[in-house]
């Protein structure tokens, strides 16, 4: 059988497309944040996380759900030295600008002469002050210089939702999990993208947020089918077989 040049081109395109899809489907599974939401917790409606698992998911897989105080999450990793009222310890006490301490945050306070970093939770800072000697086993030099202060968001809730291949799982989070009514949280769902089709976070009347990635199952196949159909259309328009 003899094929025209156009037909050979179509066949070549089909083979190439399928090869690309095959390479995309192998070895590209990645851990991604598939959904996130900032929402104020309401104890009358709670928060429900739904995960739509595809058939290829492993029974041992999980979707990792995390809650942080929203304001603390926004500061995570930031240098907060500017929120000190002084960069010199008052004895062994660090002094923050009162009112500039963020709930749900840990502060890493790096000291000069003491050659140590002391981590202090926001809840331990009273009226802007905290005695660092109460939060470390290291010796603190009186009047030491504070080199830096770095903020880190505290994890409020951490959960792992077990996979159910081919099904949708739903998990509800309530005050019993440590959530506080009227508090704003940043909520994150992290999965292996090749095992999950979608995820939603439902915070009652506020609704939910859906997130996905181009690497989710079915993306490459759809692309391949579109390319094949386009190639076939070119051949038909030219009247070639």
Beta strands in the chain (DSSP E): 31-40, 47-53, 62-69, 93-95, 105-111, 117-121, 129-131, 146-153, 155-162, 168-173, 184-192, 196-202, 208-210
Quick count: other Cβ atoms within 10 Å of Cβ 192?
A: 18
Structural domain of 98: 75-153
Instruction: Give the mean pLDDT of 75-83.
Output: 98
Q: Judge whether residue 89 has pLDDT over 90.
A: yes
If asked whether residues 149 and 91 sit together in one domain, one would say yes
Q: Judge whether residue 97 has pLDDT over 80.
A: yes
pLDDT at 92 (0 to 100): 98
Mean of the per-residue pLDDT values for the chain? 82
The number of distinct structural domains making up the chain is: 2
Instruction: Give the mean pLDDT of 72-81.
Output: 98
pLDDT, tens only, 127-141 = 999 999 999 999 999
Q: Is residue 140 part of a domain?
A: yes
Q: Judge whether residue 78 has pLDDT over 90.
A: yes
Instruction: Give the mean pLDDT of 95-119.
Output: 97
- Among 134, 153, 172, where does a domain finish? 153
Quick count: other Cβ atoms within 10 Å of Cβ 209?
A: 17
- Among 122, 153, 184, where does a domain finish? 153
At which residue do the structure tokens 């291949």 appear?
165
Q: Judge whether residue 67 has pLDDT over 80.
A: yes
Q: Is residue 1 part of a domain?
A: no
- Among 133, 153, 173, where does a domain finish? 153
If asked whether residues 111 and 171 sit together in one domain, one would say no
Q: Is residue 37 part of a domain?
A: yes
């Amino acid at each position: 059988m003899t094929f025209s040049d156009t037909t050979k081109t179509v066949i070549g395109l089909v083979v190439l497309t399928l090869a690309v899809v095959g390479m995309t489907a192998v070895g590209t599974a990645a851990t991604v944040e598939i959904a996130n939401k900032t929402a104020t917790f309401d104890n009358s409606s709670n928060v429900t996380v739904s995960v739509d698992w595809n058939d290829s998911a492993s029974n041992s897989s999980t979707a990792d759900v995390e809650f942080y105080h929203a304001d603390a999450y926004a500061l995570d990793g930031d240098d907060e030295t500017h929120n000190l009222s002084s960069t010199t310890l008052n004895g062994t006490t660090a002094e923050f600008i009162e009112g500039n301490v963020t709930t749900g945050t840990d502060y890493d306070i790096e000291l000069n002469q003491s050659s140590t970093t002391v981590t202090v939770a926001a809840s331990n800072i009273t009226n802007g002050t905290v005695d660092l000697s109460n939060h470390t086993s290291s010796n603190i030099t009186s009047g030491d210089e504070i080199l830096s202060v770095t903020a880190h968001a505290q994890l409020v809730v951490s959960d792992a939702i077990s996979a159910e291949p081919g099904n949708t799982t739903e998990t509800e989070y309530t005050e019993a999990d440590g959530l506080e009514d009227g508090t704003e949280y940043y909520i994150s769902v992290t999965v292996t993208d090749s095992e999950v089709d979608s995820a939603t976070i439902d915070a009652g009347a506020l609704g939910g947020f859906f997130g996905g990635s181009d690497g989710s199952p079915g993306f490459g196949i759809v692309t391949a089918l579109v390319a094949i159909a386009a190639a076939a259309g070119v051949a038909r328009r030219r009247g070639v077989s």
